[in-house]
Amino acid sequence: MPAEPTVLAEGDGQQPAEPQDPPRAAEARPAGKRSGWASLRPLVLRLHFYAGLLIAPFLLVAAATGLLYACSYQAEKIVYADELRVPVAAGKSELPLARQVAAARKAHPEGEISAVRPAPESGATTRVLLSGVPGVDPDRTLAVFVNPYTGEVRGALEQYGATGALPLRTWIDELHRDLHLGEPGRLYSELAASWLWVIAGGGLVLWFGRRRSQRKLRGATGRRRTLSLHGSVGVWAALGLFFLSATGLTWSAYAGQSISDLRDAIGQSTPTVTASVTPGAEPGEGSAGEHSGHGAGGGSGAPADAGSGKRGADVGLDAVLKSARGEGLSNPVEIVPPADASSAYVVKQVRRSWPEKQDSVAVNPANGEVTDVLRFDDYPVLAKLTRWGIDAHSGSLFGVVNQIALAALALCLILLIVWGYRMWWQRGRGSSFGRPMARGAWQDVPAYVLVPLMAAIAVLGYFVPLLGIPLAAFLAVDIVLGEIAYRRGRRTYA
């Protein structure tokens, strides 16, 4: 979000004078090196201004689409109420799960069963998920909604991800993530996430660095009034913006891979239940990754019909669910059929709200015995933090409260961007935007501060490339422009 690009005198309560042409770099600095905050402030201010100016459009799109996504959960319940809810008949119990699945297959024989989600609560429908259905995106499944009391098929909709997103939320999710442009579109959201914490952090540093003059902003008008609003809202929203930036990077294309590699290297990756009945087999694909549901594929299991007899003896879905219940897996759960003759059923909890339910078990299809158990309590610390962070970012961890908080953060970010550009406009003359700070602020920073700072930025830029590459490009362009201006004799080169 563009910041006030001039250095106001600390404690100056007067209204700003008519903007003047930016001073030459050499004339703008007193002789000698300054130390401490005095040397860093112009550098932070210039970075905050340019980062806000150039990255703000991407942040604005991310904030607007994020606001839509925060509202999509409740909208989904309204739009798809007929598929999601059924009248509860007094004294009527649910049909066996196998009969519900048979009803779904009779209505939709195409494709293969990839998972089954029994009705999680009274009045909810059962979902039978079909993969390989003609006309359905390979990354999604066709969810067939069945009345668990009567076996009536209530409808069928495409579902995406582990959170069970239906078409409306899926469309908004993809708009927020990649603007419906596929993998190239993900660069926009990663760029926004990579720079959001830098802009928010720079704003905080600038705001608290001028605390002595804050009392002078009270009752101010014009540009200083805008600055007061921009700074105050930014301070209150900063923690949430840092959180959105950090969690957004975890599932980004490049920085997300760096984070994943680091977690693997230190043994903090998300474990999976062993989905094989063969002793000593490696963990299978039975447990959904933490990024599923908001930026990952929606496929969730084996391409085979549960209990079809294709793999020999099969105890059936009801016996498998009973075994999982015996291990304490309460609703909501998802049952993934075996992939082949050597694989087990995987039953996993899919609740993403607090307290999360993420336990999973593997069940031998031949006799219904539980062959492996994985508890969320046994996840590594970073795996738990990643799970909680992603679910909070996507609005499911604390339900409606979470979604309201995300909507409020998105609105704050939109306002900060608008106020930032307004300050730039107000600093100009009449109908023109104000000019940025002069070059050369880095020359005033002591070497013992500048060298470690540059080294840290280089390392960070390597692991977060959409922070490092744009920053390097900006510096290269800035140096070229400075050299051109210097050779033309317009100002002192810096």
Query: Which pLDDT does position 491 carry in this prediction?
Result: 54
Average pLDDT over residues 243-261: 94
Q: Are strands 141-146 and 126-131 parallel, antiparallel or unpaired?
A: antiparallel
Q: Would you place residue 46 in the very low, low, confident or very high pLDDT band (cuts 50, 70, 90)?
A: confident
Q: 319: which 2 tokens? A: 């016996």
Assess contact for 292 and 391: CB atoms under 8 A.
no
Q: What is the pLDDT of residues 402-457, one digit of tens each?
A: 999 999 999 999 999 999 999 888 877 655 566 666 677 777 788 888 889 899 99
**Predicted pLDDT of residue 213:** 53
pLDDT average, residue stretch 247-255: 93
Reported pTM? 0.84
- Structure confidence by residue, pLDDT tens digits, 93-142: 999 999 999 999 999 999 999 999 999 999 999 999 999 999 999 999 99
CA pair distance 140, 271, nearest whole angstrom = 23
Residue 290 has pLDDT above 70, yes or no: no
- Segments making up each domain of the chain, as ranges: 42-83+167-271+394-438, 87-151, 312-378, 445-493
Q: 465 pLDDT exceeds 90?
A: yes
pLDDT class of 478 with cuts at 50, 70, 90: confident
Question: Per mean pLDDT, which range of 41-55, 374-388, 421-435 is the poorest?
Answer: 421-435
pLDDT exceeds 60 at position 28 = no
Residues 29, 38 contacting (CB under 8 angstroms) = no
Closest CA to 426 of 295, 206, 230, 166: 230
Q: What is the pLDDT of residue 251?
A: 87
Residue 304: band (very low, low, confident or very high) from pLDDT cuts 50, 70, 90: very low
d(CA 25, CA 441): 8
- pLDDT number for residue 35: 57
How much is the pLDDT for 332? 96
In this prediction, residue 52 carries a pLDDT of: 87
Angle between helices 186-209 and 37-79 (to 10 degrees): 130
Residue 196 confidence (pLDDT) = 97
Distance CA 329, CA 76 (A): 26
- Percent share of the chain, pLDDT over 70: 81
Residues facing residue 138 across a β-bridge: none
Percent of the chain with pLDDT over 90: 63
- Quote the Cα angle for 158-162-163, to 5°: 80
pLDDT, tens digit (0-9, with 9 covering 90-100), for 53-101: 899 999 999 999 999 999 999 999 999 999 999 998 777 899 999 999 9
pLDDT band for position 239 (50/70/90)? very high
Q: Identify the band that residue 288 occupies on the pLDDT scale cut at 50, 70 and 90.
A: very low
Mean pLDDT, rounded, of the chain: 84
Angstrom distance (rounded) from CA 316 to CA 308: 9
pLDDT tens digit sequence for 392-402 = 999 999 999 99
Q: How would you classify residue 476: left for phi > 0, otherwise alpha for psi between -120 and 50, otherwise beta?
A: alpha
Centroid of chain to Cα 253: 12
Has residue 302 got a pLDDT over 50? Answer: no
Model confidence at 279, pLDDT cuts 50, 70, 90, reads: low
Check whether 361 has a pLDDT greater than 90. yes
Alpha-carbon gap, residue 341 to 304, rounded angstroms: 11
**Banded pLDDT at 305 (limits 50, 70, 90):** low
pLDDT score at 449: 82
CA distance 425 to 382: 44
Specify the pLDDT at position 91: 72
pLDDT at 7: 34
Do 22 and 435 form a contact (C-beta atoms < 8 A)? yes
Q: Distance between CA atoms of 193 and 63, rounded to whole angstroms?
A: 11
Query: Does the structure show a pLDDT above 80 at 25?
Result: no
Q: How large is the angle between the packed helices 37-79 and 465-487, nearest 10 degrees?
A: 130
Mean pLDDT value across residues 447-471: 91
Q: Which amino acid is at 167?
A: P
The Cα 97–Cα 319 span in angstroms is 10
Give pLDDT, residue 281: 55
Q: How confident is the model at residue 261 (pLDDT cuts 50, 70, 90)?
A: very high
Q: How confident is the model over 208-223, as pLDDT tens digits?
A: 877 655 555 556 678 8
CATH 3.10.450 describes domain 312-378: yes
Q: What is the pLDDT of residue 445?
A: 80
More confident residue, 424 or 296: 424
- Tell me the pLDDT band of 37, cut-offs 50, 70 and 90: low
- Average pLDDT on 303-321 reads 69
What does the pLDDT read at residue 390? 95
> Residue 408: which residues within 8 A CB-CB, separation 6 or more?
none
